[in-house]
Structure 1
Amino acid sequence: MKTGIILLSHGSRLPEAQATLRLLKSMITQEGAFELVEGASLQFNQPDLPTALAAMAARGMERVVVVPLFLYRGMHVTRDIPDIVAKEQTRYPGMDIIVAGNIGADRKLAEIILERIREVS
């Protein structure tokens, strides 16, 4: 099954903020496990989620996993993203759109935080 990945960030008014998303996209792409990896933003930047899903459909993806790059299960994760996905799913009934869990609290994240603390200590 042709599977695409959308790394979904919040977005920022500062264009340089997208550099991190591009780096993450490159890292996931290098794994070579998926046919297509794209970055998208919920606000402020393009492509937004509907545009990224349209690109996935145009490239023939049968399954798309949307990965919310959000720490908290706030309004974007619990309401906004599911609402957008539900609306877009009606446009692409032949494409299965799945929303992965958000980043949340994870031991790996705690290790990164500790590493950053050590860097400045």
Structure 2
Amino acid sequence: MKTGIILLTHGSRLPEAQITLHHLKELVAQESSYDVVEGASLQFNQPDLPAALATMAARGMKRVVVVPLFLSQGVHMKEDIPEILAREKARYPHMDIVMTGNIGAHRKLAEIIMERIREVSDQHAINY
């Protein structure tokens, strides 16, 4: 089954946010065997979620997995994203659109946090 992945961020007015999403998209594409990996933003940037889903439909995806890159279960996770997905599911009934859980508090995220702390701790030790 042709499957596409959409990495969904909040979006930002700063262009650097799009660069980060692009890098994440490349990393996920390299680590997976999905047919298409795209990025989308909930606000401020294009493609937004409806545009990314339109691209998936145009590329013949039968299943699309939306991965919200959000830390907490806020309004976007509980209301905004599900509302958008409900509208888009009606628009593309031939496409199975599912959403994963948010990133949340995960052991691997804690490992990244500790790595970042060590980076500045090592820099601090070198500066003295």
Same fold (TM over 0.5): yes
Q: CA deviation at 1:5?
A: 0.2
**Counterpart of 1:56 in structure 2: which amino acid?**
M
Q: CA deviation at 1:38?
A: 0.3
Inter-partner Cα distance in structure 2 for 1:59 and 1:100: 21
**Structure 2: which 5+ runs fail to align?**
122-128
Inter-partner Cα distance in structure 2 for 1:35 and 1:28: 12
The runs of at least 4 consecutive aligned structure 1 residues that moved more than 3 Å come to none
After TM superposition, the structure 1 stretch with the greater mean CA deviation from structure 2, 61-70 or 25-34, is 25-34
**Counterpart of 1:47 in structure 2: which amino acid?**
P
Residue 124 of structure 2 is matched in structure 1 by none
Inter-partner Cα distance in structure 2 for 1:32 and 1:9: 19
**Counterpart of 1:60 in structure 2: which amino acid?**
G
Q: CA deviation at 1:32?
A: 4.1
Deviation string 1:13-68 (CA, Å, 9 cap, x unpaired) is 01121111000000111124100000000000000000000000000000000000
**Counterpart of 2:62 in structure 1: which amino acid?**
E
Instruction: Please say if 1:20 is aligned against 2:15.
Output: no
Residue 87 of structure 1 is matched in structure 2 by 87
Residue 48 of structure 2 is matched in structure 1 by 48
Inter-partner Cα distance in structure 2 for 1:48 and 1:17: 14
Specify the SS of the correspondent of 2:79.
helix
After TM superposition, the structure 1 stretch with the greater mean CA deviation from structure 2, 26-35 or 107-116, is 26-35
Inter-partner Cα distance in structure 2 for 1:118 and 1:30: 27
Q: How large is the Cα RMSD of the aligned pairs?
A: 0.6
Could you tell me the TM-score, scaled by structure 2's length? 0.93
**Structure 1: which 5+ runs fail to align?**
none
Could you tell me the TM-score, scaled by structure 1's length? 0.98
Q: Which has the larger radius of gyration?
A: 2
